[in-house]
Structure 1
Amino acid sequence: MAEKDPSFHVGLEADKCSAHETVEEVGPTTAHGVPHSHRGLRMRHVQLIAISGSIGSALFIAIGIPFTSGGPLGLLIGMSLWCTVVWASANCLIEITTLLPIDGGFIGYATRFVDESFGMALGWNYTITQFTLICYDITAINLIIEYWKHLHPAIMITVTLAVILILNIWNVRFFGEAEFWISLSKIFLIIGLTLYTLITMCGGNPLRDRYGFRFWKNPGVFAGNTEAKQIVQGIWDSICWSTFAVVGPDYLSMVSGEVKSPRRIMPVAFKTTVYRIFGFYLMGALCVSIVCASNDPALLGAIENKAAGAAKSPYVISMNRLGIPALPSIVNAVILVSCISTGNAFAFTGSRALYGLALNHQAPKVFTRVNRNGVPYVAVLVTLAFGCLSYLSVSAGAAKVLSWWISLVGSAQLVTWTAIGITWFRFTAGLKKQGLWPQMLPQRGYLLPLSAYWLVIWSPLVFIFQGYYVFLGKFDGVSFVFAYGSIFIFGAIYIVSKIYDYSVNKRFRWAKPLDQLDFVTDIKEIELLTEESEVARMTHKKGKGQAVSDIFF
């Protein structure tokens, strides 16, 4: 993203604080009159939380599903295209988030720069998405455990919920540290699987088989498909799967309200984290296409029979084919740890989304309650209570419930991306209307407004056609609800909110007037926080561990 002069300070001159003011003089509360959640997250915490929430079992296990449909090239094309859409969302969010790194992230921006009803509908849609992702992750953990031994699903669900509760309920700094170290496991797993691919393809395996790019030739780059219709369908399946798997900028926006020195950290986090996520996914897609054939009978059979855990991972299929012992179990174990990390990140963002809604009076006020460490504990407890829906897998079957969660999350993410694009257009129009653009922006995004147009065109387009399979053959009502239910949830909340607003204010409007958009509230506090954080950073001596981690993160 394009940079501004680092000496530039955001805010109107009349609203600036003197260097002698303290945080207490500005006020310990937000504009909403409630305490700010504690800002305890550093650069390494922010980057690993975003990576953790974006990379889970999908990259290591579920990636085999679009791979069998699109083949090596189809998977790479579909995933690459969707990465450009997510990159476009990052360009939109970096401009707003670096100006206003506040609790609630992009949910609060939608309320502030579009309309209360729009923000409320987006906020609840995203909150439900995070609740669903927790259920997905816990259900996936059950399947991973079944790779070794069948346990009653309720056992692992209960254990996982308890672990996530412990990590989230007390202190954001404790959560950040735990998430940082646990998330490193998936970074090491990605690096390890990449090295595994390079070594084995060159003949470093028990069979001394130098298979190279053999599977790109047979069955072919598009999984053996030769008809244009089949090739396009394979690429489209890869795009639709990517809408579920490839995320990241939304997490960065959501955690910005709890970051130390957000003016310094958030621009770097957006640039580095987003590109790392794309690199991990595209490298993962390339490695999968090298180590396994898209028509491998073992892979197709594992997917068809809904095999447990890593049994349907293309990597594990490859390891079994090459006769490598023990390694599949090691991979499954690391995937298990990474899933716990991912569920932990979902609980964090879900509770903060609920907290942000409550700050804007769009959810019960009880969710604004925080403990002495600034953690919104009521929101955390409610978020994990919704995670108890994972117990559905006890009766319906983990694999079946997993497919429901994937469909619901994918469609809800598409609604979120569309709303982010709309919010950016309103945000920019308001700045221009009030004569504040571009000098008020501490950071600029790339290729705007083209990036925003790319976002608001592709997201609705994919949403409309991502559930095409529902209409092929016999109509499946359950699949339809999970494929398109998010837009009905969004629409229902939006309409009810509009009706309530009309009944109270006796007027109807689609959006706030541009000359009334608020670009002042919170600016003074953030400016002062930035000054004090930078002074503290310059005078504070780093420990060896922190100094080393700062080199990489």
Structure 2
Amino acid sequence: MGVEKNPPIDIDVEKLSSDNESVSNTGSSTSNSINDFKAKINIEKHGITKRGLNSRHVNLMIISQSIGSGLFISVKTPLVTSGSLGFFIAFAIWAFLVVYPLMQAVGILCCYLPIKGSFFHYCARYVDSSLGFAASMIYIYTTMMFVCLEATAVAQCISYWTNLNPGVWITICILLYLMMGLIGVNYYGEIEFYTGIMKILLIVGLMLFSLISMCGGNSKGDAYGFRNWHPLFKPYLVDGNTGKFLAFWNSLLWAAFAAGGADNLALIAGEVINPRKNVAMAAKRSYIRIYLFYIGGIFFLNSLISANNPQLLDAMTNGGEGAAGSPWVIGIKAVGVKGLDSLINALIMSSAFSCGNAFFYCSTRSIYSAAIAGYLPRFFGKCLKNGAPVYCVLLTFAVSLLSYLNVSNSGTVVFNWFVNLCATGIICAYLCIWWSYFNFRKAWEKQNNMKMKHSQYPYYLGPKFLHPFMTYAGLIITVLVLIFNGFWIFFPGNFNASNFLTSYFAPIFLVCLFIFWKILKRTKFKTSSNADITSDLKEIDEELEAEINELENKPKSNNKFLKIVHKINSFLFD
């Protein structure tokens, strides 16, 4: 089974050199596939991204990435609106029935074909090239706006300590994003690894504090237990059980925007070392994020502070910079413990910075994927020697300057319009991933004349209980959230153009982009018979086999300390 390594083989996804020029064409290679999608990389002219993320990077990133200031500050909104139990159930449903199966679906797609085009190319190859175009444009805009949003959150956290103009901190933040975008992806992985550790320490520390405090370990000696779990449900918009259901649904919508990460895994797959092992491991361990952040964090937050806490209600009404508006800090003060505000604020700031950095990365790689697919000008595929897509980084940086609109009150109105228009963009991306996943399964089974079962499928397939029940449940909930995310605007007094566009601009724009590209390029929907599941597969198999052989033949260090570090790393992250 080995590939001879004399000299070392350097094969990469979407890197099929022709005789005349070093151009990679990934498109339909099967005789019966529809040839309306071709991805190209001119390696000599533009370079190519590099695989530099190892298992340690990937596992920490998937556990902690996309966890920003929302789960530490903005989380007060659904808690106050829905009540303790309604809020908890909504988060649990989204985490178990959408986040987990969607992470597995992405793991299955990326382990089979870990290409540099991410899920946009899966959309084009398995569904329709027009869907790839529409998904990429919506997602690029969404991630760019989230970069601005998190940069503003960092400035707000710093404003907790100083009254200096927030524009100073926004400048520092986005310049750091620019710098990290231009260095190699391995350095990006290191930065995210250590900020991920800080996020984990923060949430674990807050959970332990809540546990000890509810058992009586506080300055008041009050073993309050589950006393703060009240009211369990609160009505929203109307009274009675209908109002309580609407409050629950409102929390489910908030969870949909705050709890995700599957798109991140899809985007990093093209730059992961040994992706079929490391992406599969990351998908498997996504349950850690669910239990640690989504279930454990929300459970202990409810135990620490009531949904009717007067200080929490005041923070909702009057706002508060950084930790001052965090329900965690308000709850800690309520049990008589003071002095932790600055520490928690610093950790929340690092979370917001890390989340913004992750969105900056996702934006640059999305632009890169769109460029090599021909959805954007090809020069955006230009990479530095370290693999950084330089023009993609510069474009994202340029758009991130919109963050300065938040410095003035009049600019904030404009900025909020930009952000609100992309509010449901991430949900649209999830829907496109689901569509690609189901079409891929059907195409693989049709073209291989066998069922996709663990005993017959050679790649990562997720747990046996995943498909079809959890995957279809995840798809249905995602569709319902996208359709009914703006339910509240149809109640008296809430309907206006701003609210309607906030809720429905992204899905409407997605459909418009899809129709535009379909008319322009005359694309056709793929069927299970002609969906392109074979292009690049042989090249990826050869690349990864060569990569594994190179890792196995790499000289082992005799340093005992490094051996111990390696064993600890393997135990934790392999």
Relative to the length of structure 2, the TM-score reads 0.87
> Any residues of structure 2 matched to 1:221-260 within 5 Å, and which?
221-223=232-234, 227-260=240-273
Change (3 A) 1:245 1:474: closer
1:505 corresponding residue in structure 2: none
Change (3 A) 1:74 1:103: same
State whether structure 2 residue 115 is matched by structure 1 residue 102: yes
Paired with 2:109 and 2:422, the residues of 1 have a C-alpha distance of 25
1:155 corresponding residue in structure 2: 168
Q: Please, which of 476, 479, 486 is the counterpart of residue 460 of structure 1?
A: 479
> Any residues of structure 2 matched to 1:361-372 within 5 Å, and which?
361-372=374-385
- 1:305 Cα deviation after fit: 1.1
1:551 corresponding residue in structure 2: 571
Q: Please, which of 85, 88, 93 is the counterpart of residue 73 of structure 1?
A: 85
- Quick one: which amino acid aligns to residue 461 of structure 2? R
- 1:19 Cα deviation after fit: 7.0
Change (3 A) 1:195 1:406: farther
Deviates more, 1:367-376 or 1:221-230: 221-230
1:207 corresponding residue in structure 2: 220
Q: Please, which of 13, 17, 42 is the counterpart of residue 54 of structure 2?
A: 42
2:37 corresponding residue in structure 1: none
- 1:155 Cα deviation after fit: 1.1
- 1:370 Cα deviation after fit: 0.2
State whether structure 2 residue 152 is matched by structure 1 residue 139: yes
Q: Please, which of 88, 92, 113 is the counterpart of residue 126 of structure 2?
A: 113
Paired with 2:183 and 2:115, the residues of 1 have a C-alpha distance of 21
Residues 440, 533 of structure 2: 8 Å contact kept: no
Residues 404, 479 of structure 1: 8 Å contact kept: no
Identity of aligned residues (%): 33
Gapped runs of 5+ residues in structure 2?
A: 18-23, 26-39
- Quick one: which amino acid aligns to residue 458 of structure 1? I
Q: Please, which of 399, 406, 428 is the counterpart of residue 415 of structure 1?
A: 428
1:538 corresponding residue in structure 2: 552
RMSD of aligned alpha carbons:
2.5
1:296 corresponding residue in structure 2: 309
Residues 79, 239 of structure 1: 8 Å contact kept: yes
Q: Larger helix proportion, structure 1 or 2?
A: 1
Instruction: State the number of aligned residues.
Output: 531
SS in 2 for 1:33: strand
- Quick one: which amino acid aligns to residue 254 of structure 1? L
SS in 2 for 1:514: coil
Residues 240, 410 of structure 1: 8 Å contact kept: no
SS in 1 for 2:408: helix
1:5 corresponding residue in structure 2: none
SS in 2 for 1:54: coil
- Quick one: which amino acid aligns to residue 321 of structure 1? A
> Any residues of structure 2 matched to 1:44-59 within 5 Å, and which?
44-59=56-71
Residues 40, 172 of structure 1: 8 Å contact kept: yes
Change (3 A) 1:272 1:474: closer
- Quick one: which amino acid aligns to residue 523 of structure 1? L
Paired with 1:497 and 1:301, the residues of 2 have a C-alpha distance of 49
2:9 corresponding residue in structure 1: 23
- 1:56 Cα deviation after fit: 1.1
1:516 corresponding residue in structure 2: 530
1:483 corresponding residue in structure 2: 503
- 1:244 Cα deviation after fit: 0.8
Residues 41, 381 of structure 2: 8 Å contact kept: no
- 1:302 Cα deviation after fit: 0.5
Residues 380, 389 of structure 2: 8 Å contact kept: yes
- 1:515 Cα deviation after fit: 2.7
- 1:18 Cα deviation after fit: 6.5
- 1:520 Cα deviation after fit: 2.3
Deviates more, 1:57-66 or 1:424-433: 424-433
Q: Deviation string for 1:179-201 (max 9, x for gaps)?
A: 11122111110111011111111
Relative to the length of structure 1, the TM-score reads 0.90
Q: Deviation string for 1:456-513 (max 9, x for gaps)?
A: 32112111211122233142322221221111221221111112113xxxxx63x024
- 1:330 Cα deviation after fit: 0.7
Change (3 A) 1:441 1:253: farther
